[in-house]
Structure 1
Amino acid sequence: MRRFIVVGVALIVAVTAASGALALWPIGTAVTLAERQGDPKRGAYLARAGGCIACHSDPGSGRPALTGGAPIETGFGRFVPPNLTQHKTLGIGAWTIEDFARAVRQGVAPGGEPYYPAFPYPFYADLSDQDIADLWEAFRTVAPRDVDPGSHTITFPFNLRFGLKLWRAAFAETPPAAPVPERSDAWNRGKWLVRGVAHCGACHTDRNFLGGRDTAQRLAGSDNLPGGGKAPAITASALKEAGWSVDDLAFALRSGVTPEGDTFGNGMGEVVRDSTAWLRPEDRRAIALYLLNQDKPMSKETNE
Structure 2
Amino acid sequence: MAEEVTARVSRYVNDGSDQDLRRLLRGAELVAEPARTAFRRAGVQQGWNVIDCGCGPLGGLAVLAEMVGPAGRVVGVDLSQATVQRARAVMSALELGNVEVIAGGLHDLDSAALGGPFDLAFTRLFLMHQPDPVRTLRHIADLLRPGGWLVAHEQLPSPPPRSHPNLEALTGTWDLIYEVLHRNGVPARVVEDLPRSARQAGLEVTAMSGFFGVIDPEVMFELDAASIAALRERGIQLGIAAERIDGLVRDLQAAAKDGGYEWVTSPFFLDLALRKPAARQPR
TM-score (norm 2): 0.30
The structure with the larger Rg is 1
- Greater strand share, structure number: 2
TM-score (norm 1): 0.28
